[in-house]
Amino acid sequence: MSFLKRIFTRVNKRYVSDTDKFMASDDTPLSQSQKREIAKHERIGNLRDNKQSQDNNNELWKDF
């Protein structure tokens, strides 16, 4: 197990390949569906990363 740990801790996580740089520099405008997908996944990320208030009076859990 320690062998795998050594391998994966040595990975340079800040490396950006030339291909990734080229793809990121593409200046074509986004379509409406691409914009909706981006907005959807940003919302999912925000819900995942930011704690939501819990409603203890939820009807679903009333009988439990």
- Encode pLDDT of 4-61 as tens digits: 777 667 777 788 899 988 988 877 888 999 999 999 999 999 999 887 776 666 677 6
Backbone angles phi, psi at 41, to 5 degrees: -75, -30
Distance from C-alpha of 29 to C-alpha of 35, rounded to nearest angstrom: 10
Say if pTM beats, i.e. exceeds, 0.85: no
